[in-house]
Amino acid sequence: MNPQSQSFRLDNKLAIITGASKGIGLGIAKAMSTAGASILLVSRQTPDLETAVAEIRAAGGQAEACPFDLHNYPQLNEWYSGVVAAHGIPDILVNAAGITRRGPADQLSLDHWHEVMAINLSAVFAMSQAFAQRLLAAQKPGKIVNIASLMTSASRPGTAAYTASKGGVGQLTKALALDWATKGIHVNAIAPGFIQTDLTGPLWNDPTFDEWVKKRTPMARWGQPADIALPALFMASAASDFMTGQVVYVDGGFLATF
């Protein structure tokens, strides 16, 4: 094998991935498994998690379900200790879990605002902190890949909570990268364009919006989870060892035009 291609391998690495039961998270889990990593899949939906684990194992990969509801992020550190005790210290963290609550800002409830912030931002910090604390104590390097959004740089009507949370993910990525840059823990983010997942189902099932996305995106299509998986694999691998604090837009050219 070409020595350079080895830089993209994840053999003997343990990756923990939130939102891993479907969509972008599952796409990343499958790509990292194919590259040699053992995968810990995190989601609150245990049946979906078991299905995802079975898919990865059927393809020859190693995967375990680690159910946790990120709404309960104040208890995350205790749960993470149990994960480490059972499986070892993860080398890679992918924060892919996310939710949205749509509606005009003047009508958005504070409960919905707090829920989006809890899952999309506070849980990302709590998970990153737990991940880094174990690596720092063991003096091991690691890679964090956060899933940001087009909304990290732009917005649409009715997305106040989601936009604010994803803007926070972009800035949090930079802040964590700086804190841990000399510790061997690299932190980067991928900002996907419009990707066909369960989360975006109300959008791509709307014929008018579907047509708008295809016309507005220079590549004239929706992205798929696989379009995000390989950039995530790069960020988790040795190929990105001189890269930290970056937010990379994988959007079919969406932000390159107007």
The burial of 159, by beta-carbon neighbours within 10 Å (0-12 exposed, 13-18 middle, 19 or more buried), is given as: buried
pLDDT digit string (tens) for 96-130? 999 999 999 999 999 999 999 999 999 999 999 99
Comparing CA positions, the residue from 124, 129, 200 lying closest to residue 167 is 124
pLDDT digit string (tens) for 214-234? 999 999 999 999 999 999 999
Q: Residue 46: which pLDDT band, with cuts at 50, 70 and 90?
A: confident
Q: Residue 4: which pLDDT band, with cuts at 50, 70 and 90?
A: low
**b/e 162-183 (16+ beta carbons within 10 angstroms → b):** bbbbbbbbbebbbebbeebeee
Is residue 116 a contact partner of residue 165, using CB atoms and an 8 Å limit? yes
Considering the domain boundaries, does residue 85 fall inside one?
Answer: yes
pLDDT digit string (tens) for 141-189? 999 999 999 999 999 999 999 999 999 999 999 999 999 999 999 999 9
Containing domain of residue 236, as a range? 3-249
Give pTM, 2 decimals. Answer: 0.96
Considering the domain boundaries, does residue 256 fall inside one?
Answer: no
Considering the domain boundaries, does residue 61 fall inside one?
Answer: yes
Considering the domain boundaries, does residue 150 fall inside one?
Answer: yes
Model pLDDT, residue 3:
56
pLDDT digit string (tens) for 176-195? 999 999 999 999 999 999 99
CB atoms inside a 10 Å sphere around CB 216: 15
Considering the domain boundaries, does residue 258 fall inside one?
Answer: no
249 catalytic? Reply is no
Considering the domain boundaries, does residue 255 fall inside one?
Answer: no
Q: Residue 245: which pLDDT band, with cuts at 50, 70 and 90?
A: very high
Considering the domain boundaries, does residue 33 fall inside one?
Answer: yes
Total domains in the fold of the chain: 1
On average, the pLDDT of the chain sits at: 96
Considering the domain boundaries, does residue 159 fall inside one?
Answer: yes
Which tokens sit at 234? 């790069």
- 79-83, 95-99, 195-199: lowest mean pLDDT where? 195-199
Model pLDDT, residue 199:
77
Res 1 pLDDT > 60: no
Model pLDDT, residue 150:
96
Share of the chain above pLDDT 90, in %: 94
The burial of 62, by beta-carbon neighbours within 10 Å (0-12 exposed, 13-18 middle, 19 or more buried), is given as: middle
CA atoms within 13 A on the CB side of 202: 5
List the CATH number of the domain containing 131. Answer: 3.40.50.720
